[in-house]
Amino acid sequence: MRSSANVAPPKLLDAARFRGEVDGEAVALYTLRNSRGMVACITNYGAKIEQILVPGRDGQLTDVVLGYDSLEAAVEGSASMGAFIGRYAGRIGNAAFTLDGVHHQLAANNGTHCLHGGKRGSRFRVFKAVQRSDSSVEMGCRFEDGEEGFPGALILRLTYSLTDANELVLDYEARALDQPTVASFTTHAFFNLNGESADGSQRDVRSHEVMIAANQYFATTGDLVATGELLDVAGTAFDFRQPVLLGERMRTDAGAGSIEGYDHCYLTSRAAGDAPVLAARVRARAAGRVMEVWSTEPALQFYTGLQAGEPLLGGPGKSGRVYLQQQSLCLEPQGYPNAPNCPAFPSSVHLPGESRRGKTLYRFMG
C-alpha cells in the first residue's frame, strides 16, 4: 500500500463557486457528510457528482472522482462527467423508435444516434433541489412531451444520500404523466480510486483491478449501438467474472485476449426480488481501496474510453489538469440499451400513472 506521507489532503470544493444560473434556473452545490468523515459534493446542474472524499485506513481523505471546481467549468466541461443521465441512457439507434405504431424521431447528438437523452438530456438540465439533512439531498426534473422527440411528459425524482457504511446511494423514481413513453436512467461518475489528483502510473486506469458479475455482454454495431443480441463473455476480453488487472487486458497490440479500451454493456447477474445486487467490484492495489457497485438495474455499462491519452472535452478539472481517456473508469447501472428498437429485450415503456423505481449504490472500503 502506498504511503500517504507528504500527500496533501484534497481541498473541499467551494460552494460559492457553483452559485449561479443556467437557463434562468438557480444552481448550487450541495455537500453531504456521514459520521465517518465521507463527503460528497453534488450540484443540481445535471445532478452531477463533483467530488467524493473517502477516508482511507489512516483516516486521510482521498477524492475518488473526476469533476470540476466551479459552475462555469462544469458547464464547459465533459457533459456526462458525474451526471445523472436521462431520459434514456446510452444510444438509441438512428435516433428513432416506434411505439404503439407511431414513429418517433429523436434528437441525433452522436452521429446519427441519440445518446444519453439527446441534445438537452438531463445532464444539461438544472434540477429542482432540496437538502433534507446533512447526509441527503433530493432533486427532480420534468421532461416535457415532445422534448428531444420523446413522447409524453415524465417526472424524475432522485435522492442522493450517504450512509455510515461509506455508501453513496442513489434512489430514483420516474412517472409517466399523460401517455406512454420510454425511459432508462443511469449515473455517470468517473472514478479513480487512487485519487483524482494521482500522479504517474496511478493516474492510469490500468492500475485498477475489476470484477463484473456478468456472464453475457451486449453485441453492438461498429458505432456502439446494441443490436439485440447477447454474447457470452467466456474466452473473451470481456470476461470479468474473476478480478482482472486492467493493465493485463488493455494493450495497444490488440492481440488475442487484449483490447484497447472499454465502452461496453453487460447483462449483470440478478437475484430474486427488488433488492440491489452486486454488479461490480473495483480495487486499487496501491491505495488499498475497494469500491463495490450494487444496483437494481439489469445492465451495466463499463467505460474507460477507447483512445488512451485523448483529452476529454472541456477545460481543466479539479487537479488543474485536463482529463484524459483511461485516467478513470465508469460503471453505469441502467436498463437494456437500445431497448425501444430491440423487441427481444424487456420493455422500457413507462405507462401513464406508473412509477418505476431504481436504486444504485457505490460502497467504499479500505
| pLDDT for 120 | 93
Quote the DSSP letter at residue 72.
H
For the stretch 1-53, pLDDT in tens is 344 445 567 899 999 999 999 999 999 999 999 999 999 999 999 999 999 99
Residue 261 in domain? no
Look at residue 286 in the predicted model and tell me its pLDDT.
Answer: 86
Q: How many CB atoms lie within 10 A of CB 93?
A: 22
Place of cell 445492465: 299
Q: Convert the pLDDT of each residue in 280-291 to its tens digit.
A: 999 998 889 999
Range 246-281 burial, b when 16+ CB lie within 10 A, else e: beebbeeeeeeeebbbbebbbbbeeeeeeebbbbbb
Three-state secondary structure call for residue 93? helix
* Mean pLDDT for the stretch of residues 243-249: 95
In a domain, 322, yes or no: yes
Q: How many residues does the chain have?
A: 366
Whether residue 220 is contained in a domain is answered as no
> Exposed e or buried b for every residue in 328-358, given b needs 16+ CB within 10 A?
bbbbbbbbbbbbbbbeebeebbbeeeeebeb
Q: Within a domain: residue 238? A: no
Model confidence at 251, pLDDT cuts 50, 70, 90, reads confident
The answer to whether the Cα torsion of 293, 315, 286, 366 is positive or negative is negative
User: 117 falls in which pLDDT band (50, 70, 90)?
Assistant: very high
Query: How distant is the alpha carbon of residue 223 from its chain centre?
Result: 20
| 232 assigned to some structural domain | no
CB 140 within 8 A of CB 164: no
What is the mean predicted confidence (pLDDT) over 129-141? 97
Q: Is 200 helix (H, G, I), strand (E, B) or coil?
A: helix
Band of pLDDT at residue 366, cut at 50, 70 and 90: confident
| Domain assignment present for 230 | no
Q: What is the dihedral of CA 22, 23, 24, 28, to 10 degrees?
A: -20
Question: Residue 235: is it exposed, middle or buried by C-beta count within 10 angstroms (0-12/13-18/19+)?
Answer: exposed
Task: State phi, psi for 217 to the nearest 5 degrees.
Answer: -130, 165
The residue range of the domain holding 70 is 1-206+276-366
Comparing CA positions, the residue from 32, 43, 56, 65 lying closest to residue 163 is: 32
Half-sphere exposure of 162 (CA within 13 A, CB side): 25
Q: Does residue 259 fall inside a structural domain?
A: no
The answer to whether 64 and 81 have CB atoms below 8 angstroms apart is no
pLDDT in tens, 67-77: 999 999 999 99
Amino acid (one-letter) located at 327: Q
Which residues are identified as catalytic?
188, 332
Contact 33, 162 (CB under 8 A): yes
Residue by residue, DSSP assigns 136-204 as: EEEEEEEEPTTGGG--S-EEEEEEEEE-TTSEEEEEEEEEE-SS-EE-B-EE---B-TT-TT--GGGGS
What pLDDT band is residue 273 in, cutting at 50, 70 and 90? Answer: low
Q: Please count the structural domains in the chain.
A: 1
What pLDDT is attached to residue 254? 56
- Asked if 154 contacts 107 with a C-beta cutoff of 8 angstroms, the reply is no
Model confidence pTM above 0.85? yes
Residue at 283 is within a domain? yes
For residues 189 and 82, the answer to whether their CB atoms sit within 8 Å is: yes
Domain CATH code at residue 19: 2.70.98.10
What's the rounded mean pLDDT across residues 152-176?
Answer: 98
Whether the CB-CB separation of 122 and 140 falls below 8 Å is answered with no
Residues in CB range of 222: below 8 A, 6 or more apart: none
Q: What is the pLDDT of residue 59?
A: 79
Q: Which residue has the cell 465521507?
A: 38
Q: What is the mean pLDDT of residues 222-241?
A: 96
Q: What is the mean pLDDT of residues 115-123?
A: 97
